[in-house]
Chain A
Amino acid sequence: MVNPVLLIIIPLTGAFAIPLFGFISKYISKYISLISTMVMAVIVGSLIPKVINNPIIVMIGGFKPPFGINLVVSPLSLFFVGVISLLGFLVSIYAIKYIDDGDIDKYHLLFLLFITGATGVVLTGDIFNLFVFFEILCISSYALVAYNRDKDGVEAGIKYLIQGSVGSAFILIGIALLYGLCGSLNMADIASQIHSVNSPLLSLSLFLFLTGFGIEAAIFPLNGWLPDAHSSAPSTISAVLSGFAIEIGLYAVLRIVCTVFGATDILHFLAGLGIFTLLIGEISAFKQDDIKRLLAYSSIGQIGLILFAFSLGSPEGVAGGLFHILSHALSKGLLFLAAGYMIYKAGSREIGKMKGLGTRMPVTSFCFLIATFSLVGLPPFVGFPSKFIIIKSALSTNQGYFFVLVGAALLGTVIEISYFFKLLQNIFSKTGEDKVDEAPLSALIPIIIMALIILAVGVYPEIVSRFLHLASANFMDRMGYINNILGAL
């Protein structure tokens, strides 16, 4: 069996190999990140059949839980690693041509560290280890946002850094309080004894975790950094930041709230917050003229919907949330990647200047259209089944509170349709100029692959839905999680 530790080791080794190969040529680094993410995807594929029945617990250094650090390879974490490696691989193909000047090797080094951090967060079963990987993710994304070193990028980077590192400090205080109360760092061990602890510090700790991870997850009112950071970063980085980085933050929030604290009573509050985030994001997106800022605000909206789905507290809702993470990663990844070359060819980020791109870049624009349709939830694209499951499971709770929230979510979707159609109308309007000037092949391949996956999963949602239901059942089963890890003695 392939050791799941390789999922963390491969990108990390790749990252540290880049400076060494940099002595020969810095162009090698492009292929290192390409190969690393590809190998990760293959490993994920080979591990899927093995974790379906029982999660794999990897004990690092042979220390048995609750001592030492352990990795938990459950269907849920494997789903996240799958999204990370797939999107990472496609973005690396895109980056071959797109990131072509400046410090290419540094870009790829940071990119691989970013992948390492994201993978580590979802795999680890130790709360401090979660923090460390989270910091690897955050620090590399601060640097990547400012990669172009232009005025906007640096300003967005420092904003993101300051807000993010206050969040990290909060998380660390939370960990310190939790360790003081429970005397353990293993998440399953803390979860097993947290209900016997009776101290006001516990609520303080939960609040600190919620704030700290909430900043990275872009939950309103902690998302001031997101539109700047996602719109000023290079398009490849915007794609991964929107595609899975904020979802990783959300995963951390829910892992802490649901598994570690078992605080299901604040889920109603989180559901309301999710819908509020959705409405704020969509309304702000509506008035944007800048294509990347529009997409960034739309990410806020989608993350709100995913938070709402997770907060329903039913396995069905969590499955819908996971499905929407997949759908959002593919659609928003595609939109950002396509926008990268559309901005380049149009010479501007303003939506008004995008006129006529539909005839000049037919393939890119068509894939852009597919991704927008998927994002607003039209059949037969992947956004439809994911939104459908979320709405269906919200209605099946039979609570008036959730009915109101579903109404608000649908209102948000209507706003979403209106601004996306405004964008499409601009792109596909005719200007008389019909010389085809398509993006390079290295950009078209990932865009087309994503469009095909969006279509394939949209037509046959059964490909992933069985696995997602398994993952959500696994996520909801708190006692099973504890027994699995502590029982592995």
Chain B
Amino acid sequence: MEFIENYLYYIASFGLILIGLYIMLVKDNLIKIIIGLSIIDTGVNILIISMGYLKKGTAPIFSRESLLPSRMVDPVPQALVLTAIVIGVAILALALTLAIVLYRHYGTLNVRKIRDLKW
């Protein structure tokens, strides 16, 4: 039980990453693949946040005398996640745009039918 309590965030984040990878590998629909990508991103973001998480920690701001640095959460991962979210949004937007254009060309989003280019 204690194991789960300690490693809950890691289990959850790697679970999400694996779910996302599974979706990307198995699904045929391009939109679903993009959703899988988005799930991977979420998993990674949770992983980064959990790196600096502290149970009952406070924000890293010295607003009161009684706040101790050892009880503060690490602010760096949060800054990283903010950046990673922005990048994720950019990729998602571009992917959906390309999916729309692809649909106009092929009339389908099934990736097994979109295969003009081969090795």
Contacts and interface: CB of A to CB of B under 8 A. Distances in A.
Chain A interface main SS type: helix
Contact of A227 (B41, B87, B105, B119): B119
B98 interface: yes
Contact of B105 (A143, A154, A161, A224): A154
A449 interface: no
Nearest to A297: B119
B27 to A, nearest CB: 12
Contacts of B47: 173, 176
A149 interface: yes
Size class of B's contact patch? Answer: 20 to 34
A154 B102 contact: yes
Interface string A211-238: 0000000000000100110001000000
B26 interface: no
B105 A151 contact: yes
A172 B13 CA distance: 13
Contacts of A169: 17, 20, 37, 40-41, 44
A161 B91 CA distance: 8
Contacts, number: 91
A135 B21 CA distance: 20
Nearest to B92: A165
Interface string A130-161: 00100100010011001001111011111101
A244 B71 CA distance: 46
Range class of the A interface residue count? 35 or more
Interface string B5-32: 0000000000001001100100000100
Contact of B94 (A132, A139, A155, A232): A139
Contact of B37 (A132, A150, A162): A162
> Which of A151, A152, A159 has the most chain B CB atoms inside 10 A of its CB?
A151
B117 A228 contact: yes
A227 to B, nearest CB: 7
Contacts of A284: 119
Contacts of B24: 162, 166
Contacts of A228: 117
Given A146-B101, A152-B116, A155-B102, A176 B51 contact: yes
Interface string A154-185: 11111101100110110011011001100001
Contacts of A175: 48, 80
Contacts of A180: 51
A135 B87 contact: yes
A128 interface: yes
B44 A172 contact: yes
Interface in B59-106: 76-77, 80, 83-84, 87, 90-91, 94-95, 98-99, 101-102, 105-106
Nearest to A145: B98
Given A158-B95, A169-B41, A176-B44, A128 B117 contact: no
B82 to A, nearest CB: 11
A132 B87 contact: yes
B20, B41, B76, B119: most-surrounded residue (chain A CB, <10 A): B119
B54 interface: no
A157 B119 CA distance: 16
Nearest to B80: A128
Interface of A: 128, 132, 135, 139, 142-143, 146, 149-152, 154-159, 161-162, 165-166, 168-169, 172-173, 175-176, 179-180, 185, 224, 227-228, 232, 284
Given A139-B94, A155-B105, A155-B116, 5 more contacts: A142-B98, A143-B94, A152-B117, A157-B98, A169-B20
23 contacts: A128-B80, A128-B83, A132-B83, A132-B87, A135-B87, A139-B87, A146-B98, A150-B105, A151-B105, A151-B116, A154-B98, A154-B105, A161-B91, A161-B94, A161-B98, A165-B37, A165-B91, A168-B87, A173-B17, A175-B48, A175-B80, A176-B47, A224-B119
